Structure 1
Amino acid sequence: METFENLVRAEFTPKNTYLNTASNALLPARAVAAVQNAVRLRAEGRSLDPLFADVEACRGAYARLAGVPAGRVAAGATAALHTSLIAASLQPGAEVLTAEDDFTSVLNAFHTRGDLKVRAVPLERLADSVRPGTALVAVKTAQSADGRIADLPALREAARTHGARTYVDFSQAAGWLPMEAGAFDYSVSITYKWLLGPHGAAFLVVPEDLGDLPPVQASWVGAEQPWASCYGPVAELAGSARRFDSSPALFSYAGLRASLELVEEIGVDTVRAHDLVLADRFRAGLAERGHTPVPAPGSPIVSVPGLGRLQPELAEAGIQVSDRAGNLRASFHLYNTADDVDRLLEALSG
């Protein structure tokens, strides 16, 4: 059996110290090859059937990672597009509870409606802030700016108590944290971070009964018989979450199929253990140097207040991190090593 180290070495060839998965991951070699093959298929004029098969394979792989049947998974391009479906389902005047300064893609569609009551509270108070009359709670599992993890069990219980629906964005968690998407009414994730895919693919998980979502973006791909529904109004939408699909970016899904196969091959638990060892090593090194990161236990995202300004010079030194909300944000994944952590710590010391 191939060892973890040999598998990772065969798939990734970074040319710098890459600690920026929270922005986007490195592509594994198998995904690069899959995209190249898909482009070649188009260039040679061959049938696109294999590329549409990739979309269904990705739907099935994501469903396994999310712990739900594939029939509950809709395929699209962005988290923001899926959020717009959730927003469209709400009645005028409905209250949406969110976390302060959460990522725009999980918030903006509720604000742009103009007729919803959107209330924001600190992440740590989210579950306690659900109240009678709250229609929906929307939050990212792990905060983009600093990696803090939402207390999803407490949120789920509070929402159940008050009859609120839940919408959870797993974009910064899918691939290193077990999702258990079936525990929530709706959930979403893009796939170009810890799931290692190209940009242009995202998944929405809906209830078994499809919930109250209006298929406002319904097109031929959301039909029960897509290829028989290309002209005129769609006679019958799919009886599964596929009715909420948007036309897929086929090259993206070709690469994503290979990436998801790698994630499943390695296993989310293995990825998580590896990533958290590195994140904790970085936190310990920061403490030794007198820096205090934003508390985010159990997260592979580490943000250091006030040091975001160093991002440009670190990039010049070949170390890729992010400047988010003034924080220096480092994020760790399976292609990172202890040497990467130590190099960043050394650079910060200098």
Structure 2
Amino acid sequence: MRTAFGESFDVPDGYLNSASVGIPPVRVTEAVLESVRRWGSGRCSPPEFDAPVATARAAFAELVGVGADRVAIGTAVSQLLGPIAAAVPDGARVVVAEGEFTSVSFPFAVQAGRGVTVTEAPPARLVEAAAEADVVAVSVVQSADGRVADLDGLREVRETHGTLVVLDVTQAAGWLPLSLAWADVVAGGGYKWLLAPRGTAWMALRPEVEAVPHLAGWYASEDPWKGVYGLPPNLASDARAFDVSPAWTCQVGAAGTLPWLAGLDMAAVHSHCAGLADALRMAVGMAPTGSAIVSVGAPGAIDRLTTAGVAASARAGGARLAFGLYNTADDLDRAVDALV
């Protein structure tokens, strides 16, 4: 058991895998377990989950710098981006980062039958390529190696060229300070750095984004509890029109972690996480980058880390290590000892 930023975590020594699965505070685990126990004993009532849904929605909005009325809920990033990709015009030119996570690129790539083209650009040329595209879709922090996108450059492209900017914050929100009200679409999954259960995701939309909520169901209604039968569809007038029916118990967990994260000094969280990651980079002869995710390409790195009791992931030919807010100098030393 360890403590960090005012919370207790049951994180094992050497756990450097938050980029795959984030570990929640102990109190959040208990809240989810209690929700499951209530379900298992027939004591839960569906409307009681509206409060955690609203709480998590508002906290995600705060984490990315928008109003809660701009945020839709879902269970996965690709699910939320599907209607956005389906709304781009026939023949639209979409650019993504080379090696982009497929939950970002696939929703657009499957629109090829309408003449939509998706081009991969080297990260260093992404802003340049975006200036010549109709849409740019990119992770704020790349999953494979932790590279941070040039957000200032993308914002300028949007303002100058009108390119639709779609951002995935799954590997960024929770450790990187974000202010993304300028972006057209901001989506993120909850089970990594937001330390929520898998089955939680959110998407922030600028009001002028035009898309059809193809996945609309009862929870997308203006009043969900009055919209479960009949037509016409009286959808919500804000981003809730894109809501997908929530995974209830998962939202209980999200309501425990996201408001806590939103209340932290995110600059301090970033300094802690990226500071540990940069210390590892320097120990193995790499330049610091300010990202909490490190990819080490040395031969046998993942095997050496595993033998040393370090939990990391094999990604894109390297060993990916992710330093969360609950990680310590002891975790760093264990990784360095295994790699150097």
TM over 0.5: yes
Residue 53 of structure 1 aligns to a residue whose secondary structure is helix
Matched, 1:25 2:17: no
Within 2, Cα distance between the matches of 1:148 and 1:330?
13
Task: Encode CA deviations 1:199-250: one digit per residue, 9 max, x unaligned.
Answer: 11001000124x1111111111001121121123353110010000001111
CA contact (8 A) 1:186 1:206 kept: yes
- Structure 2 equivalent of residue 197 of structure 1: 196
Q: 1:72 aligns with which of 54, 66, 70?
A: 70
CA contact (8 A) 2:177 2:270 kept: no
Shift in alpha-carbon separation, 1:10–1:74, aligned structure 2, 3 A: closer
Matched, 1:318 2:309: yes
- Structure 1 equivalent of residue 334 of structure 2: 343
- Structure 2 equivalent of residue 152 of structure 1: 151
- Structure 2 equivalent of residue 300 of structure 1: 292
Within 2, Cα distance between the matches of 1:165 and 1:130?
9
TM superposition score normalised by structure 1: 0.91
Shift in alpha-carbon separation, 1:81–1:267, aligned structure 2, 3 A: same
Alignment of 1:179-218 (within 5 A): 179-209=178-208, 211-218=209-216
Task: Encode CA deviations 1:295-344: one digit per residue, 9 max, x unaligned.
Answer: 6611011111244x432453343210111111111110111111111111
Q: 1:229 aligns with which of 227, 230, 235?
A: 227
Shift in alpha-carbon separation, 1:319–1:125, aligned structure 2, 3 A: same
Q: Give how far 1:8 is off.
A: 5.0
Within 1, Cα distance between the matches of 2:336 and 2:319?
12
Q: Which runs of 5+ in 1 are unaligned?
A: none
Alignment of 1:1-350 (within 5 A): 6-7=3-4, 10-46=7-43, 47-114=45-112, 115-132=115-132, 134-209=133-208, 211-287=209-285, 292=286, 297-307=289-299, 309-349=300-340
Shift in alpha-carbon separation, 1:194–1:95, aligned structure 2, 3 A: same
Off by >4 Å, runs of 4+ in structure 1: 5-10
Q: Which runs of 5+ in 2 are unaligned?
A: none
Within 2, Cα distance between the matches of 1:89 and 1:10?
42
Residue 321 of structure 2 aligns to a residue whose secondary structure is strand
Within 2, Cα distance between the matches of 1:215 and 1:10?
38
TM superposition score normalised by structure 2: 0.94
Task: Encode CA deviations 1:71-119: one digit per residue, 9 max, x unaligned.
Answer: 0000000001112111111111110111111100000011111231111
Identity of counterpart residues, as a percentage? 39
CA contact (8 A) 1:223 1:234 kept: no
| Length, aligned pairs only | 336
Within 2, Cα distance between the matches of 1:70 and 1:270?
24
Shift in alpha-carbon separation, 1:234–1:317, aligned structure 2, 3 A: farther
Within 1, Cα distance between the matches of 2:173 and 2:94?
24
Residue 84 of structure 1 aligns to a residue whose secondary structure is helix
CA contact (8 A) 1:41 1:48 kept: no
Residue 284 of structure 2 aligns to a residue whose secondary structure is helix
Within 2, Cα distance between the matches of 1:111 and 1:261?
34
Within 2, Cα distance between the matches of 1:106 and 1:306?
28
Shift in alpha-carbon separation, 1:8–1:182, aligned structure 2, 3 A: closer
Residue 107 of structure 1 aligns to a residue whose secondary structure is helix
Task: Encode CA deviations 1:249-276: one digit per residue, 9 max, x unaligned.
Answer: 1111101111113313433222111112
| Structural RMSD (CA) | 1.7
Residue 63 of structure 1 aligns to a residue whose secondary structure is helix
CA contact (8 A) 1:18 1:336 kept: yes
Residue 36 of structure 1 aligns to a residue whose secondary structure is helix
CA contact (8 A) 1:220 1:234 kept: no
CA contact (8 A) 1:222 1:244 kept: yes
